[in-house]
Structure 1
């Protein structure tokens, strides 16, 4: 039994996609960010970082979205959302998941919370502009990878694709939208028709219209 502490269109989105995909037995617990519930004493016992998501497996809490995604995949190997040990694509899985989390998501976090990265509010527009450039660089790398690949790892859907869709949705605010990249746009349009993405986005009230263009 899984219990996912989530907030709509937050870093819990990728784990939510995966739980739906593997038809897991799971419960969703809404973390009320507006009330700073993620900073409450009870929540900090589960996730000392005070961030979303947290996945509780029986009584064991796990935090950090990539770690949660990996655990869900490995708990349901029959869905082949992570290459098995010995598969040459396995290190590429970790490569792309790390790139998405450590590069694209990290740049997006600065883009969304520029005030955390300057002590002078007059610098905020410059921070945002610089981040748009960094985000564009990351999206360009992904676009190149998709030139001859249906999915990030090749011909087979993996958890990396669900993670990327989450970040692509967040990237729509950037000066250069992910939908302006030819290969990435076609890929995201296909993924927007994925049953798990459609179902979870409907539940979390995320508009998929931008990906239909």
Structure 2
């Protein structure tokens, strides 16, 4: 049985959604960031980066959200959360997955933790303001990519959509939030209506009222 070390609405959110979607047995283990449990020696033995999430499968531990998600999707191909191998859709899926996790997500981290990116505390408001504009522009790119489709890649849900939902929800407090973009809003509302998303959000204490 899988064991996911998580914290609500953290980067573990997407892997949690995927585990629920797959319908496999898994155990959730809370890593309480409020007490910096991710820095505890026992956790560092599993994940030396001291970050969340970590997935344990048998005797193996895996970290990095995208790596965990890809591992799960490849191990359960029957769920078809990855397009067919060697197809154009598979290539596009990888492209947008890495855009989400290697471009958008790091920009969000700077927005939420500006103090880690400057030695001048007086500059943090300017960093936050600049980051919000940069990220809002990225949401616009994603809105254009979705177009008139229901999902980010192709005509069915894929691994990308779980990360899309997570990273868009993180920006829900922006002056121009993701749901202000029509295509993105349609996609997010569709995802929020799905059983797996609702179940995971209930477990993690996340309200979905903004998507109604």
TM-score, normalization: structure 2?
A: 0.98
SS at structure 2 position matched to 1:62: strand
Is 1:197 the counterpart of 2:197? The answer is yes
Please report how far the alpha carbon of residue 170 of structure 1 lies from its aligned counterpart in structure 2 after TM superposition.
0.3
Cα distance in structure 2, aligned partners of 1:183 and 1:88: 22
Can you list the C-alpha shifts for 1:4-41, whole angstroms capped at 9, x where unaligned?
00001110000000000011121110001111110011
Is 1:7 the counterpart of 2:3? The answer is no
Please report how far the alpha carbon of residue 137 of structure 1 lies from its aligned counterpart in structure 2 after TM superposition.
1.4
Is 1:29 the counterpart of 2:29? The answer is yes
- How many residue pairs were aligned? 212
Contact 2:150 2:156 in 1 (8 A): yes
Unaligned runs of 5+ in 1: none
Q: Which moves more between the two structures, 13-22 or 79-88?
A: 79-88
Please report how far the alpha carbon of residue 179 of structure 1 lies from its aligned counterpart in structure 2 after TM superposition.
1.0
Structure 1 stretches of 4+ with a deviation exceeding 3 A read none
Contact 2:7 2:33 in 1 (8 A): yes
Please report how far the alpha carbon of residue 148 of structure 1 lies from its aligned counterpart in structure 2 after TM superposition.
2.9
Match of 1:39 in 2: 39
Cα distance in structure 2, aligned partners of 1:153 and 1:32: 34
Can you list the C-alpha shifts for 1:18-70, whole angstroms capped at 9, x where unaligned?
00001112111000111111001111111111000000111100000000000
Cα distance in structure 1, aligned partners of 2:64 and 2:122: 32
Contact 2:47 2:63 in 1 (8 A): yes
Match of 1:85 in 2: 85
Contact 2:6 2:54 in 1 (8 A): yes
Is 1:123 the counterpart of 2:117? The answer is no
Q: Which moves more between the two structures, 80-89 or 186-195?
A: 80-89
TM-score, normalization: structure 1?
A: 0.97
Give me the CA root mean square deviation.
Answer: 0.9
Unaligned runs of 5+ in 2: none
